[in-house]
Amino acid sequence: MTTTFGPDNSVSAERATQKPAEPTIWFEVGEFLEYFHWAKSPTGIQRVQIELFAEADRRGLVPGRIRFCRLDRYTHRFMPVDFAAVAACFEEPPPSGGRSLFPRARTLISQIRADSRVWRGSIRGWLAEARLWLRGFGMTGAGVDPRLSCFTPGDVLICLGNAWEDTRYGEFVALARRERGIRFAVLIYDLIPVTHPSSVNDDNALMFRRWLDGMIENADLMLAISAYSRRALLAYATERKGRLPAADVLPLGTGFRPSTRSVRAEAMAKFPSRYVLFVSTLSIRKNHQLVAKVWQALIAKHGAAKMPHLVFVGQIGWLVADFMAELRANRYLDGKIVIVSDLSDAEVRQAYDACLFTIYPSLAEGWGLPIAESFEHGKLCVASNRTSMPEVGGDLADYIDPEDLAGATAVIERAIFDEEYRRRREAQIRESYRPASWAESFSSLLAALDRLHGPDDRSTVDAVGAVGGSIRHRSRSAGADG
């Protein structure tokens, strides 16, 4: 029997009354749940995950056909999780997430607790592995490894998150494949710790490489969120002279899911009346420094009164301590730069609606979701011309070299002061931009998973067809693949 996960996931009335013989698709959500114990607002990765998770839950028409599990980092047991718990974690993160008034104390206490869990988890893991070893010599009763008991042979496990902080993730995926005969798929967002190592610290770069090596060795299918990321993945796999994975592009949707959280007046009061928007975690790779220098230059040229505010929406991230110190020293350009964190999706939507235009000058991305979000709200985006971002922006974005201050200043100056130009670009966006839905993105995912059980199932990169071998820009004026 050919198994079909199909885009519509429809079943006949006859089959719906039968116990499903098809394999279960398991979405592994451990990293997603753990993220919200440390932060209370999502990054782009968590946004992509929740949209696809929600579609997965909606499509799970056959009881038990699509389910969720988490790989506990310390016990390395795959445990079933209800989607309600996943959705609640996104909508209302646990109170501890990002809320401590004493971050250094919180970090110390969390480290002590984490170390304790690591040791307890390691002891349990060693005992479980000892039982497996003894079972091989017939010294214990036969049975399924309790860490893998949720799986049945033929199931599909898919990781949509960045699980690379668990250095043993690949090891336990390999165990599940070997012991339970599952198929494994993983979504790769980017290879930035490999391609742009200065964007992360050395320890994180090493952890990422170990995780990526494990994914390449054990994945039956690897998906990338852009043609750029796919090329980077295959280049890395070729360079390491190991197994060349089956790899394809998963086109992403755009748009915010309905939220139960309301828009808070106190949050929106932080926004000035006239501003340019930059939605991103503040990290060295996102290049906030460049935009701050552009604002400083334009204030010197035109005067502060004529310049709109620059609003950064996002959390304080990595390797920006010097930049933050500089902002404080110049009093955030005397108040012209505003940082707003911990917004709900509804509040971010409102921020897009009210801005003049958006900026996304990142040095490197796997995709560039804020560019698509800007277009969805009818706003021009001044974007970087590097890596994947032209795939998102097509001919609807204005591009800058993220390392050319003079060139970036000229492009941004025109967007600020030439209102007629900005209106023409907005009209082009409204006329041409056709956003992809998350339902379409999930259908592409199901189509890719179909091939894991189809007659053409093969293990080389050429075997996987074009579920989006390049990403089509949803613009009638662009019309070409990315």
Summarised one tens digit per residue, pLDDT across range 89-123 is 888 776 654 433 333 344 344 444 444 444 444 45
Q: Pick the residue with more confidence: 471 or 83?
A: 83
Please say if the pLDDT value at position 85 is more than 80: yes
Mean pLDDT value across residues 55-83: 86
Q: State pLDDT tens for residues 160-177.
A: 998 888 888 999 999 999
**pTM exceeds 0.75:** yes
Please say if the pLDDT value at position 476 is more than 60: no
pLDDT score recorded for residue 61:
62
Q: State pLDDT tens for residues 333-385.
A: 999 999 999 888 889 999 999 999 999 999 999 999 999 999 999 999 999 99
Domains of the chain: 13-249 (3.40.50), 265-432 (3.40.50.2000)
Q: State pLDDT tens for residues 191-241.
A: 999 999 988 888 889 999 999 999 999 999 999 999 999 999 999 999 988
pLDDT score recorded for residue 6:
41
Per the CB < 8 A criterion, the answer to whether 310 and 298 are in contact is no
Strand order in the sheet with 25-28: 78-81, 66-71, 25-28, 156-159, 183-188, 221-224, 247-249
What is the rounded CA–CA span in Å between residue 356 and residue 125? 54
C-alpha torsion angle, residues 397, 398, 400, 402 (rounded to 10): -40
127 pLDDT tier (thresholds 50, 70, 90): low
pLDDT score recorded for residue 63:
63
Cβ-proximal residues to 452 (8 Å cutoff; 6+ apart), any chain: 156, 183, 185, 220, 221
Mean pLDDT value across residues 311-331: 93
> Could you report how far apart the first and last alpha carbons of the chain are, in Å?
36
Mean pLDDT score across all residues of the chain: 82
Proportion of the chain in helix, strand, coil states, percent, rounded to 5: 45, 15, 40
Question: What crossing angle do the helices spanning 405-417 and 288-302 adopt, rounded to 10°?
Answer: 60
pLDDT score recorded for residue 261:
66
Per the CB < 8 A criterion, the answer to whether 285 and 362 are in contact is yes
Please say if the pLDDT value at position 145 is more than 70: yes
Cβ-proximal residues to 93 (8 Å cutoff; 6+ apart), any chain: 36, 37, 39, 40, 41
What is the rounded CA–CA span in Å between residue 205 and residue 203? 5
Per the CB < 8 A criterion, the answer to whether 7 and 446 are in contact is yes
Mean pLDDT value across residues 453-471: 37
% of the chain beyond a pLDDT of 70? 77
